Amino acid sequence: MPPQTALEPLAAIASAAGNDVGTGATVWFTGLPSAGKTTLALALADRLRSAGHRVEVLDGDAVRPVLSPELGYSRADRDANVARIGWVAELLARNGVIVLAAVVSPFAAARDQVRQRHTEGGTRYFEVHVATAVEVCAERDVKGLYARQREGAMSGLTGIDGEYEPPLSPELRVDTAVLSVSDAVERLDRLVTKENPT
């Protein structure tokens, strides 16, 4: 569970969304750094909000310093961070929020545990593999991670010298080197809203 101090604003969001219980869902974007996870999440958020949905984006890089400031990047720490974000996502989704979580989440077992938490809570959950090739991600290098790895300034970069286990059966697979953002968002919107009771 995340530290208690991080939960107060989440409780307020969940309380405010209480009248929409049953309409929420979590969309979990997994993929390599610079694959396009956050770009898609933000674009989908705009689309869903314009249609009147309550939406929260949980970007892994933004959430980690708040929920997991004491964690590093060992497998155990990465899994703990994923579990915490998954806990928050399910809490919000259970209370009517559509949660868009953009998290590298490299290990299948940790992602499966997030799915299981949603299943046990009766909360809708969609895994989206942003399957952009590592060569494309390295060329984009939005945060300079691939350059730092090449220069020897860091190690354990997911997809290079750090392991990434691609989802075997995601609800949707998107390659942002092939699909435009607008085309990808169209597919994502259909995925999320086709069973939404609102």
pLDDT digits (tens, 9 = 90+) for 155-167: 888 989 899 999 9
- Backbone phi, psi, residue 58, to 5°: -110, 95
- The pLDDT, as a whole number, for residue 103 is 97
At 196, is the pLDDT very low, low, confident or very high (cuts 50, 70, 90)? low
The DSSP-derived string for 23-40 is S-EEEEEE-STTSSHHHH
Angle at 107 between CA 105 and CA 109, to 5 degrees: 115
pLDDT digits (tens, 9 = 90+) for 70-96: 999 999 999 999 999 999 999 999 999
Pairwise pLDDT comparison (55 vs 23), residue with the higher score: 55
**CB neighbourhood size of 191 (10 A):** 16
Q: Clarify whether 15 is annotated catalytic.
A: no
- The pLDDT, as a whole number, for residue 156 is 85
At 3, is the pLDDT very low, low, confident or very high (cuts 50, 70, 90)? low
CA separation, residue 82 to residues 73, 151, 172, 190 (Å): 11, 28, 20, 26
- The pLDDT, as a whole number, for residue 198 is 42
The pairing of beta strand 55-59 with beta strand 124-130: unpaired
> What is the span of the domain harbouring residue 40?
4-193
Does residue 109 lie in a domain region? Answer: yes
What's the CATH number where 118 sits?
Answer: 3.40.50.300
Q: Which of 15, 34, 50, 105 is catalytic?
A: 105
DSSP letter assigned to residue 173: E
Does residue 198 lie in a domain region? Answer: no
Among the residues of 71-177, which ranges form H helices?
Answer: 75-94, 108-121, 134-140, 145-150
How far apart (Å, rounded) are the C-alpha atoms in residues 193 and 175?
21
- The pLDDT, as a whole number, for residue 27 is 98
Does residue 118 lie in a domain region? Answer: yes
Give the mean model confidence (pLDDT) for residues 98-106.
98
Does residue 134 lie in a domain region? Answer: yes
Judge whether 181 and 137 are in contact, CB under 8 Å.
no
Judge whether 104 and 62 are in contact, CB under 8 Å.
no
The domain total for the chain is: 1
Does residue 126 lie in a domain region? Answer: yes
